[in-house]
Amino acid sequence: MELIFLGTSAAIPSKKRNHSAIALKAFGEVFLFDCGEGTQRQMAKAKVSPMKIKKIFITHLHGDHLLGLPGMIQTMAFREREEPLHLFGPPGLKEMLEAAMKLGYFSMNFDIYVHEIGPGKIMETEEYIISCAETEHTVPNLSYCFEEKKKPRFLRDKAIKLGLKPGPAFG
């Protein structure tokens, strides 16, 4: 699992810090949390391809957390993306995205599914659970939790103490 901070600035970027965006590489997927302006450039610097992103999670509807989305989606379309893209965020995300997408003229060759969510479990796979909770801000705001599921472990020392003999299937 690798966490890549693409932007950690607040409403106004600085020379050294970009608007909010975090990429998470885990289980063969790339997840994006927030997508402020300049996220694509930061992803290029970090060698993270936008084409590998299947799920984007937006914390809230302030521009510094989502105005990179229209450009990101346009780049995906220009690169002939075919896989669907899932966007998760607070109520109002779909309306805001539709308004922002009217600013550019390009054809979409992939589906975008917008999931307006509230607190609770968002998804669960064999490897992970993603959930969110409301947090205080000037607008509805979500904090996300990415939790790796626990896997059974083989305790070598305990097995030996129990009398099991090491061998090819021992681990």
For each of the domains in the chain, give its residue range(s) and CATH number, in order of start: 2-161 (3.60.15.10)
Q: Which of 34, 64, 111, 157 is catalytic?
A: 64
Q: How many angstroms separate the Cα of 73 from the Cα of each of 7, 98, 129, 155, 156?
A: 18, 12, 25, 46, 49
Helical packing angle, 69-78 and 93-101, nearest 10°: 60
CA distance 146 to 35: 17
pLDDT value at residue 171: 59
Kindly report the pTM of this predicted structure: 0.85
Q: What is the pLDDT of residues 27-68, one digit of tens each?
A: 999 999 999 999 999 999 999 999 999 999 999 998 888 999
Question: Could you confirm whether 64 is annotated as catalytic?
Answer: yes
Looking at the predicted structure, is the pLDDT value of residue 170 above 70?
Answer: no
Looking at the predicted structure, is the pLDDT value of residue 137 above 70?
Answer: yes
Looking at the predicted structure, is the pLDDT value of residue 129 above 80?
Answer: yes
Mean pLDDT of the residues in the chain = 90
By three-state DSSP, how is residue 169 classified? Answer: coil
